[in-house]
Amino acid sequence: MRIFTLMENTACAPEYACEHGLSFCIETGGRKLLFDMGQSDLFVKNACALGIDLSEVDMAFVSHGHYDHGGGLAAFLEINDHAPVYVHEKAFAPHFSRKPEGIKDIGLDTALAENPRLRRVSGVTQIDRCLTLFSDITGKDCVPTGNRTLYERENGQFVPDRFTHEQSLIVREGDTAVLFTGCAHRGVINICARAKELLGRDPDVVIGGMHLFSPSTGKSEPDENIRVVAARLAETESRYYTCHCTGPHAYDVLRETLGERIAFLPAGSMIEV
């Protein structure tokens, strides 16, 4: 399995664009998958630079209803005329962030909500024997405090976002199982625990953001919180690749515990698992 980072907050070389966003292209079992699409069409530029033809993507996924993960959806739908796009049934509901200047809309483009290519799902969706999409997280351990600046709307009022619209993807190839998270707003510990329940064991690899940095406040989680997350991750059998909303400081703190079991994925990078 090959994983290309099409978009991330940083880039591995000047020829790759970067923005606050996330997108992966996954080559597995003779097909191409797209997991998230950044906040604009810049992920398309990076795909071209990496020699990836997005018109050949067989299936796509949007991890949750925030613009930095689904902002490039319109660009993808224009380039690719056939791949189904799996979104949570609540992904297009309004979502907001509290900024110093006030409440800001950070949701997806609702003009795309009725596109016939969208596949609306919830709970556990077994797409085929190799792909499992899930959103039914019940654990409450180590939930990021950065979620406190994020809202949804209920009965005309802003209420704390419960992130029921967030979904993660398990990709199996042979004996290897890889878990992809978007931002892990529900807590990376809880998402990994649910993946373990579904697999019957820890994923071999976990890839994605851990939301240990809040772009709304510009602050990382307290170091003591990050170290608790690191200690819990160290108890698993998984290897970790992280990026985006984990943040560089939190990544350094995680490495104090996890060492070579964790690595960072900038835009333009490729790994094989």
Mean pLDDT of the chain: 97
Domain limits at 148? 2-272
**Which value, in Å, is the radius of gyration of the alpha carbons in the chain?**
17
**Does an H or E element contain 78, and which?**
helix 73-79
> Whole-angstrom Cα distance, residue 231 to residue 106?
32
**What is the mean pLDDT of each successive set of 10 residues along the chain, which is 273 residues long?**
98 97 97 98 98 98 98 98 98 94 94 98 98 97 96 93 97 98 98 98 98 93 97 98 97 98 98 97
Q: What is the pLDDT of residue 98?
A: 93
**Any residues with CB less than 8 A from the CB of 22 and at least 6 apart, and which?**
7, 8, 36, 38, 63, 68, 69, 182, 183, 208, 209, 243, 244, 245
Round to whole Å and give the CA distance between 85 and 75: 13
Give the pLDDT confidence score for residue 173 in this predicted structure.
Answer: 98
At 101 the pLDDT is: 86
Give the chain's domain count.
Answer: 1
The CATH number of the domain holding residue 245 is 3.60.15.10
